Every structure is written in C-alpha cells, then in structure tokens.
Chains A and B, each alone.
Chain A
C-alpha cells in the first residue's frame, strides 16, 4: 500500500505538547522499537526497513543522539566530565526534540513511516532508574508525539550480558549503570541495572501501549513476530 493513501490526522502528544505545532496534520505513521543494547534492535530495524521499502513504503529511520546539532555534543560532554542525572536527561531531551522538529514531524507530515530506534521511553526509564522523579520525567517528555506502535524487545539480563560481551568485548559504562553505584563488580552492576530497566519498562507498558516481544529467541524468530505485527497494523489502516 503506497504511503500517500493513509488518512491524515492531527498530531497528538503524550502530555503538554508543542503549542505552536498543535494543528499539524500528519499522514505518516510512527513505529518505535525499544530494547537494550544487545537486544538485536538495530538488526531488526534493518530488516524491517528493507521489507517495508520493498513493499513500497517510504521509511525514515531515527534514533537517539543523532541530531546534527546536539548528538556529538552529548558524547563529547560525557567524555569530558561526569554529568548529573538531570543534566543528562535534559541534554538527551534537547537532542530528541531537535530531531523531532527537524526530522520526525516533517517526515510524518510528508507521509513517511518513521521507524524509531528507541524513543522517549528509554530516556524516561533511564532517568527514573537513576532516581529522578517519575512525574517529572514523564511530564518533561510530554512534548513527544504519540507513537502508533511501540515494541519492547525484552531479553534476560544474563543472555544480554553474553551478547554485549561477545559483540563489543566490553561493557558500556552507562548501560551497565556503573554511574549509579549498585556494585563494584561490573557484571553485577550490569545485571542489576538491566533488571531495573526491564522492570521500569514493564511499569510503563500500559501507559504507552508498549508490546513486549520475547527477545530471547533467535533473530529470524523475533523478526517474524515483529514484521507480522507491523504488517497487520499497516494493512488495517
């Protein structure tokens, strides 16, 4: 089904939106894949894009830390000196909104399927797990448009650990929650952090209509589940 045939509708936000964009008409659809590093998220997104494009859909891929203006700045700042948790969350929010207004919303207006490699949910969960107020975190990201489909690829922390270690040979400082200080042992810290993130995602599932996908299965198996869910949704529009 060609993208331009989707019915148009008004942009809807999770909370206090962007007042100056409140009457924006969009024709595209927003699909989000969430999941920790090592959950196979990016691989899945590659296959989904290939399939959607071969079906004739126009697709835009987006993710975190990718804004031209701010993405690199976050990486540089993290290298230079440790950032506080509020600062970090706000920095990611600035990066996100820059992409939102320059890329995601224009693409939705033009009728693209926007496939987001993580969205606000990761940013909210990270902050809450680090002790930020849940209310503050959800309110902050109230400016985000509601997604049409959200998947969360859930993988057991033990399995995740092996995948990450095999892929990178090391654990990421923040993704192991080493900045929080759960444990001096990095393995321990990683497991505890991932457990808390998974728990936080589970707690947010209903509010954001997230569909949990069992990511402990093989890549092709997970792909079949994701793709059929997406096709089913797109065919119903």
Chain B
C-alpha cells in the first residue's frame, strides 16, 4: 500500500467525521432554541382586559375587590391585580399584570392622562421600566411614584413621565372606566410592560 493511498484514506475519514460532527452541531440549534421556555397562558396569567375589576395585591385586604372608597384622594397608591369578574380568577400568575391604582384630583391631570382616567383615578403598570422592580414607594410631599431599587421617579399626573432617576420610559398606563363604585379596566396597557431593550417612550399600541 503506497503512502499516498494512506493519506487519501485519512482525508476521507477525516472529512466524513468532520461533516458528521458539523451536521450534528447544526442540529443542536433546535434544542438550544427550545431552551427559551414556552409561555403558557392560563386564566391566571392572561393580560388584563376590558371589564376586569381590581383586587388588592397585598396587605390585610389582599384579594378583596377595590372600590373608589378604598383609594385615598391624592394618594398614596394601591398595588393591585386584575380579576375577571365572570370567572372570579385573579390574574396574579403573571407579575407583569400588577398595576398601581391612584386617585388624584381630576383637575391636576394632563389632558393625555385624563383620557385613561376615570374620576381622577389612573392605573399604571407597577413594573419599573428600568429593571423590573415593583414601583412601590410613594413620595408624599411631591405626590410622585418611586421605585426603591434604583430611585426612578414617575409623575402620575403626567402619564407617569420619568421625573427623576434612570428609567428609560414612562410606566405604561392601563385605561380605567367607572362601573358602579369600582374602577374597572377599559383596555390593555398603552405600551409594553417591564424591561424592553431599546424601546422608545412612544412604543407599543393601545391594545384591545
């Protein structure tokens, strides 16, 4: 057997193994792509929709429906989850469903904010657009919303505009309407909730 044949054989074996490994590696892309978990929509994780009432997200009255009487005028705000009034399901399976409800003087609201409000009550996503903490602190003297994680400050009278700190865009608003003594949801969030890389302040659309 000449030396040349040996080299040729080795090249063929090498090429075969190489092609096999290469194809194997490419096929791995499917399971790697599947590593991103499926998002399973259950009644608890559905986004808020028109007609949903709100329930307390925490505290002694956790799970109780919120009426206008529960919201102190001029703040502070209340953290809430939407609840489907027909099925009675509280949509707290998805953290991005958390909203903050605040009752303000209707005269103080900017025209754009007033569109989403009912009797001075506005609802915003409670998920900070900076890094996703809950906007859970109330600046009493200024009447602003404060995220305690990196001190992002939002003004609830001006469409939750960022008035201090690092958040890149305002909190998405959730339109509200009155139904009896309760504020209820009048549509979807005005922009995507939470941390979205590079989203412009005007991004998203008024869903539902």
Note whether A and B form a binding pair. no
